Amino acid sequence: MTTGDPRVSWRLVREEEDLDWLLAPLPSGRHGLSREQVVRSQRARLLGAAIAVAGADGYAAMTVSAVLARASISRKTFYEQFADREHCFLAAYEHVLERADAGLRAAYEIDAPWPERLRGALTWALDALAAHEPEARVAFVEVLGAGPHALALRDRALAQLARLLAPGLDAAPPGVEIPASMPQAVGGAICELVASRIRAGQVAALPQLLPDLLYCALAPFLGPLAAAQASGLGQTPAEPRARAHA
């Protein structure tokens, strides 16, 4: 992923903040940092540790002790920030969603036809996931076992994705009526295709899914031929017949 735009940066903190400083253990003794700076640093390190542990070992292994060991932060400090490990996971997951939503919107909100806007958003998402495997596993795999509150956040994220697909309802050929539920259905299918690759340990190869995902997103609205052409899978009508008779 090659972008310097702060809107599409997938970080645990804002672009203008010094990430290395925030995620590094604080110096002992007098350090001249304000209480707000200390709390921000501690929270960023705890969120980063939660993502790292859950992304590598699973939500079940993301105990408070494991997070503390990864973040080099005291138990007392943890409970000043979070009620329990579920609360910590939810905060980390929600922060990943916020960064992902910002990146998707920045890639999507360009002056181009809807299929190209969708291509831009999917390209950004697949590149970002491939470069951030722990976040990918947290967002698509571990969230499913993290309880009803996590699933509610996931449903909200799916609804946001469906909004990016909703213009397809107006892009359908004249006379073709598309069910209003189709953006939600397509969004769910896209997420499951991505999740299946992540579960299989193929995170680095996710960008290769772009043509398939774009076709999946466009075909219910534009039809199979137009979707194949827009996604780079296009072929002349004679090609399938030629293969059938070969």
Asked, for residue 246, whether it belongs to a domain, the answer is: no
- Report the alpha-carbon distance of residue 5 to residue 165 in Å, rounded: 24
Give me the chain's average pLDDT, please. Answer: 85
Residue numbers of the domain that contains 189: 85-233
What are the residues whose beta carbons fall under 8 Å from the beta carbon of 40, sequence distance 6 or more? 13, 17, 22
How would residue 232 be classed by pLDDT, with cut points 50, 70 and 90?
Answer: confident
pLDDT in tens, 120-157: 999 999 999 999 999 999 999 999 999 999 999 999 99
Give the pTM: 0.80
* Co-location of 115 and 29 in the same domain: no
pLDDT in tens, 83-124: 999 999 999 999 999 999 999 999 999 999 999 999 999 999
* Co-location of 187 and 227 in the same domain: yes
pLDDT over threshold 70, residue 245: no
* Co-location of 117 and 177 in the same domain: yes
Angle at 158 between CA 228 and CA 1, to 5 degrees: 65
* Co-location of 160 and 99 in the same domain: yes
Count up the domains in the chain and report the number.
Answer: 2
- Report the alpha-carbon distance of residue 50 to residue 75 in Å, rounded: 14
* Co-location of 182 and 77 in the same domain: no
For the domain that residue 176 is a member of, what is the CATH number? Answer: 1.10.357.10
Q: What is the pLDDT of residue 35?
A: 67
* Co-location of 209 and 101 in the same domain: yes
Write down the number of H helices and E strands in the chain: 13, 0
Asked, for residue 1, whether it belongs to a domain, the answer is: no
